[in-house]
Amino acid sequence: MLYETFHDTMNVMKTCITCRVEKSEDDFYKQGKHRSSYCKSCDNARRSSQYKSPSKEQNRAKYLKYREQHLARAKALRDSWSEEDKLRERLKRNYSTTLEQYYEMLNSQNGVCAICKTIPDVFVVDHDHKCCGYVGANGKSCGKCNRGLLCHSCNKGIGMLNDDRQILLNAIEYLAGEG
160 within domain boundaries: yes
pLDDT of residue 117: 94
**DSSP line for 66-114:** HHHHHHHHHHHHHHHS-HHHHHHHHHHHHH---HHHHHHHHHHTTTS-T
**Residues 131 and 87 placed together within one structural domain of the fold:** yes
Task: Over range 36-53, report the average pLDDT.
Answer: 81
pLDDT of residue 34: 85
pLDDT digits (tens, 9 = 90+) for 95-131: 888 999 999 999 999 999 999 999 999 898 888 777 7
Task: Over range 133-155, report the average pLDDT.
Answer: 76
59 within domain boundaries: no
**Residues 98 and 20 placed together within one structural domain of the fold:** no
**Residues 88 and 164 placed together within one structural domain of the fold:** yes
39 within domain boundaries: yes
* Highest mean pLDDT: which range of 6-10, 132-136, 162-166: 162-166
**Residues 101 and 17 placed together within one structural domain of the fold:** no
pLDDT band at 138 (very low <50, low <70, confident <90, very high): low
120 within domain boundaries: yes
Number of domains in the chain: 2
**Residues 86 and 171 placed together within one structural domain of the fold:** yes
**Residues 90 and 30 placed together within one structural domain of the fold:** no
Closest CA to 90 of 148, 81, 62: 81
The Cα 170–Cα 7 span in angstroms is 101
**Residues 95 and 41 placed together within one structural domain of the fold:** no
pLDDT digits (tens, 9 = 90+) for 11-38: 788 999 989 999 998 899 988 888 888 8
Predicted model pTM: 0.52
**Residues 110 and 156 placed together within one structural domain of the fold:** yes
pLDDT of residue 153: 93
pLDDT of residue 107: 94
**Residues 117 and 160 placed together within one structural domain of the fold:** yes
93 within domain boundaries: yes
23 within domain boundaries: yes
Is 140:94 a contact under the CB 8 Å cutoff? Answer: yes
Question: Exposed/middle/buried for 151, CB within 10 Å: 0-12, 13-18, 19+?
Answer: buried
- Which CATH number characterizes residue 122's domain? 3.40.1800
pLDDT digits (tens, 9 = 90+) for 81-97: 888 888 888 888 888 88
Instruction: Give the angle subtended at the CA of 122 by the CAs of 118 and 125, to the nearest 5°.
Output: 90
63 within domain boundaries: no
**Residues 46 and 88 placed together within one structural domain of the fold:** no
The Cα 163–Cα 156 span in angstroms is 10
pLDDT of 141 over the 60 cut = yes
**Residues 92 and 11 placed together within one structural domain of the fold:** no
pLDDT of residue 166: 93
Domain with 157, as residue range(s), is: 82-175
62 within domain boundaries: no
**Residues 47 and 102 placed together within one structural domain of the fold:** no
